[in-house]
Structure 1
Amino acid sequence: MALLRGFLWLTGFWLAGESLVVLLDLPISAGVVGMLLLTASLMLRIGRLEDIAAASQPLIGLLAMLIMPGVVGVFFVADEFAGQWLAVAVALVGGTLASVLTTLLLMRRCMPAAPSTETPQETSS
């Protein structure tokens, strides 16, 4: 049941993002707006984290398959990129490096400090 509730939460945030994009005529993807709403609600402790985690864990394994249609779609508009491949390649490499660096910095900031591996010195009595 937690899995179903989690999918309902995720679908609700996606629909809320879609509604905001349509109503406010935002030039942002509805998925991004939904994820921002989900992040804000998790930060404010709204919703059941256990349910959302139960629904999102199976989706992580499918992430590459969920991204694939967008990647394949690029081949259908390849003619429009003629002469701009260097800019596209630089943007892809730069964006990927910036994303990885940002993720690393956020992870290091949000994770608790690692416990010390040193063993305490024994004192002789």
Structure 2
Amino acid sequence: MSMLNGFLVLTGFFIAGEALRVLLALPVSGGVIGMILLTLLLMLKGSISDSLAGSSQALISVLVLLIMPGVVGVFFVADEFAGQWLAIGAALAVGTLLSVLTTLWLMQRFSGPEGGGHE
């Protein structure tokens, strides 16, 4: 029952994000808006419930299955990207580099004293 409560919270924030997206005509996914709202709430609260943590962990374990439909969908519009290989390659390279650097900085920033962090 605890995991069901966590999924309900995640679904509620997804629906709230979709509602905001539609009402404000935002060019951002409702899921992204919902996760931003959830993140802000958790930052204000300062903790996460066991049910939300358990549900999130269960979703992370199947993350590849959640991402796969979007990746497969790219193959259906591959013709539209044919002349854009340089821009796509540059975006992938720069995006990957920025992602790795951001992850490295966050790990150094928030790791404990044994990791050389600044807590």
What's the TM-score bracket when you normalise by the shorter of the two chains? 0.7 to 0.9
Normalising to structure 2: TM-score of the pair? 0.88
Hey, what does 2:86 align to over in structure 1? 86
Q: Report the identity percentage.
A: 61
CA distance in 2, matches of 1:100, 1:84: 24
Q: What is the CA distance between 1:2 and its match in structure 2? A: 1.3
Hey, what does 1:109 align to over in structure 2? 109
Q: 1:82 aligns to what SS in structure 2? A: helix
Mind listing any 5+ residue stretches in structure 2 that lack a counterpart? none
RMSD between aligned residues: 1.9
**Which structure is higher in helix share?**
2
Larger relative contact order (C-alpha < 8 A, sep ≥ 6)?
1
Hey, what does 2:26 align to over in structure 1? 26
Hey, what does 2:74 align to over in structure 1? 74
**Structure with max Cα Rg:** 1
Q: How many residues align?
A: 116
Q: What is the CA distance between 1:73 and its match in structure 2? A: 0.8
Q: Which amino acid aligns with 2:90?
A: V
Runs of 4 or more, structure 1, over 6 Å off, are none
Normalising to structure 1: TM-score of the pair? 0.84
Hey, what does 1:16 align to over in structure 2? 16
CA distance in 1, matches of 2:56, 2:85: 35
Q: Which amino acid aligns with 2:105?
A: L
Q: Which amino acid aligns with 2:67?
A: I
Are the structure 2 counterparts of residues 47 and 10 from structure 1 closer, same or farther at C-alpha, using a change threshold of 3 Å? Answer: farther
Q: What is the CA distance between 1:100 and its match in structure 2? A: 2.1
Q: 2:114 aligns to what SS in structure 1? A: coil
Q: What is the CA distance between 1:110 and its match in structure 2? A: 2.3
Mind listing any 5+ residue stretches in structure 1 that lack a counterpart? 117-125
CA distance in 2, matches of 1:59, 1:35: 14
Are the structure 2 counterparts of residues 115 and 80 from structure 1 closer, same or farther at C-alpha, using a change threshold of 3 Å? Answer: closer
Hey, what does 2:99 align to over in structure 1? 99
